[in-house]
Amino acid sequence: MRRMFCKECGTKNDIGDKFCKNCGRQLHEINNQGNINKKPSVFQEKKKPPVLLIVGVIAFVAVLFFAREGATLFKSDTKVNCAGYSFIIPKEYETEIVDGNILKLTKKTGFTEETAVIYVYQSNYDKLKEGFYYLEQYNLQNWANYNLNGEYLGYEETTINNKNILLIDVKVDGHYSTAAMMKISEEYVLGVQTVSTSKSNTRKMAEKLVPVIIEAKRTEEEIKPYNNNMTVSIFELLRRK
């Protein structure tokens, strides 16, 4: 049977009394085991964090990460021979030789995919640069756009790792492309070209891959240049699935 005793004076009170009959002090109900029944505090009522849910989310994110990036953690840079040159390709890129003389690179980052090509182009570097210079001097962009079936955005010459690099930007069918070209002889240039829906991204991709062509080594195989309409055909190749 439950009793109500006053903690202050010890007077026995009736069940349900909130205050002591003798001294007026607020009462607490005492159960049969002699424990005072109190309302649990806010901290006692608060639920524990859903630990299993948190662990599950972390595991799911980890699986997604390793599905995309995990394979590259155990890979090393790849040596690929193409078009008469040997290239050291960063481990994050998958490689494919197309038409016997074009090296296609594909990199998956998160849920996006970057694509680029490396090739030998038959042209004199200085004459190529001079051509783009006169194209802009005489406002021949419309002529260039007609031949591109797109939009010529401009060119510049820069220096990367002490090598002169010609950068050409174009836009075709809503996609931007940057071609980075380096002189390898009086007759040939070595180029890497990227494509993206972002102009800044395609430039960054090209500049990041320039060291690959700078460090390329000549092999004993015959040089196999790519001589078709460079920009349009390369665009079609880059978007080929």
Residue of 11 and 46 predicted with greater confidence: 11
Give the model confidence (pLDDT) of 143-201 as tens digits.
Answer: 777 767 778 899 999 999 999 999 999 888 788 889 999 999 999 999 999 888 888 88
Residue of 42 and 107 predicted with greater confidence: 107
User: In sequence order, what are the beta bridge partners of 205?
Assistant: none
User: Cα–Cα distance between 198 and 216 in angstroms, integer?
Assistant: 28
Residue of 180 and 24 predicted with greater confidence: 180
Residue of 43 and 214 predicted with greater confidence: 214
pLDDT of residue 124: 93
Report the percent of the chain where pLDDT is more than 90: 32
Residues contacting 202, CB < 8 A, separation 6+: 169, 176, 177, 178, 194, 195, 196
Give the model confidence (pLDDT) of 52-111 as tens digits.
Answer: 667 666 766 655 555 555 555 567 899 999 999 999 999 989 999 988 889 999 887 666
Mean pLDDT of the chain: 78
User: Cα–Cα distance between 14 and 232 in angstroms, integer?
Assistant: 97
pLDDT of residue 55: 65
Domains of the chain: 1-46 (no CATH), 77-238 (2.60.120.1690)
Place of tokens 């078709």: 228
pLDDT of residue 237: 61
Mean pLDDT, range 198-222, rounded to an integer: 92
pLDDT of residue 33: 44
pLDDT of residue 40: 44
pLDDT of residue 70: 53
Computed over its alpha carbons, how large is the radius of gyration of the chain? 37
